[in-house]
Amino acid sequence: MIREGFAVIGCTRCRRMQVADLAHATKTCICGHKIDLAKTKLLAVSDSADEAGAILRSFTAPKNSGFVSAASMHSSSLADKTPKKDK
């Protein structure tokens, strides 16, 4: 049975959160891990990829501005800021 829509899922190996198209049975994470969409927990489901992406960003958004969290490891480079060390 094919479901429609997009889900926010988390990779069980590298913990990255990402948007998966539910029309597919699996989603391959950028770490190479194949995620079975029938078995993984869907953190959120949306009709549109854009909306799912917005939900994903709300999940991965840093709690405090200026603080770089692990979420910044995500490859989507909206903010391409490289923190520099103080002298």
Under the rule (CB under 5 A), what is the footprint of Zn ion?
Answer: 11, 13-14, 29, 31, 33
Distance of closest approach, residue 21 Cβ to Zn ion, in angstroms: 16
CB nearer to Zn ion: give 11 or 22.
11
31 versus 68: smaller Cβ distance to Zn ion:
31
Is residue 27 within 8 A of residue 52, CB to CB? The reply is no
Residue 1 Cβ vs Zn ion, minimum distance, rounded to whole Å:
26
Q: What's the closest the beta carbon of residue 46 comes to Zn ion, in angstroms? A: 21
- For the chain, the DSSP string reads ----SEEEEE-TTT--EEEEETTSSEEE-TTSPEEETTTS-EEEEESSHHHHHHHHHHHHS-SSTT---GGGGSS--SS--------
Beta bridge partners of 3: none
Which CB sits closer to Zn ion, 25 or 31?
Answer: 31
Least Å distance between CB 55 and Zn ion? Answer: 18
